[in-house]
Amino acid sequence: MDMPEAAMSKILKDSLGRTIDYLRISVTDRCSLRCIYCMPEVPGSPPAFLPEEELLTTEEWLAFARAAAMAGIRKIRLTGGEPLMRRDLPEMVRSISALPQVEQVVMTTNGVGLARNIDKLKAAGLSGVNVSLDSLDSGCYRQIAGSDRMEEALEGIRACLALGLPVKINCVPVRGINDSQWIPLAALAKEWPVQVRFIEMMPIGGGKAFPPVENSRIRELLEQEFGPMTPAPAGKRQGPAQVWKVHGFAGSVGFISAVSCGCCSTCNRIRATADGKIKLCLHHPANGDVRGLLRMGKGPEEICRWLQALVLEKPGDGARTDESRPMWKIGG
């Protein structure tokens, strides 16, 4: 007899004793931008998006989310591609946030279309938003993202703040391109109660073309401009970000230094790609295929047990990258 969901809710641990409670779901591989380090524009060679039938349906994602929550997942992030390109996103948020074990449903977006959708998403249960924003200069923004949608992203951030939603702004430093933007972006946290985060370039896909800028260098520049930083209290499921307070700032500044410092020892996350492949580590190939199980008719209890066993294979070191696919095929 199948066990009730409440009875199956437990702590999910890997073979190294790390608690795995954070799942990132790439709900689509489509995106409205063409960022040079993720989905660079190649003349005459458009992105090879997955056929519709290879993407998980809303019902399949919800079945997997239920199984993951039963296994021990407590935070779910919806990513892409660009998640706002799915018309059923509010329905997904509502159903996932209704799972009794899930404490947070958050989203990472480029901000295009965010302002006109955030009311529905918050009402559905969305509890936080990360907005990718690599520049406050329209020309620089266009050079990185392929088109100038910067004002739409800023409008989306303002709309989230007006609703009281926690906002994080993600900047990927690109050497020689957005160097002049790091201080202006950090200054957003002076005026707004946001966390501006600098994420070192990952050597995956288009990111291999750009040597990473070490976050220690950016922190040095910011302290020269704004004064000393002090560590902020760690938030629940803060992940790899080191967060700092600056005197006079309404918000905070964070650094994710996965390349220069590594964060494998405290990694608490797994990923699901848009076609249902499970990645236990960003830097390693996929370890399992939940789409296949779902289309074989496996139920949440069986997938829960499968996931519990699969997580034991999570690598202890992601420093060596075996992943050959670009970020947009993996999920941000």
Given a cut of 90, is residue 5 above it in pLDDT? no
Confidence of residue 1 (pLDDT cuts 50, 70, 90): very low
For the chain, state the CA radius of gyration: 19
Residue 329, pLDDT score: 63
Is residue 332 within 8 A of residue 78, CB to CB? The reply is no
Q: Which domains does the chain have, with CATH numbers?
A: 5-178+262-330 (3.20.20.70)
Among 27, 28, 26, 23, CA closest to 101:
23
Contact 37, 206 (CB under 8 A): yes
pLDDT of residue 81: 93
For 148-182, how does the pLDDT look when each residue is reduced to its tens digit (9 = 90+)?
999 999 999 999 999 999 999 999 999 999 999 99
Each residue of 200-254: pLDDT tens digit?
887 777 777 788 888 999 999 999 999 999 999 877 666 778 999 999 999 999 9
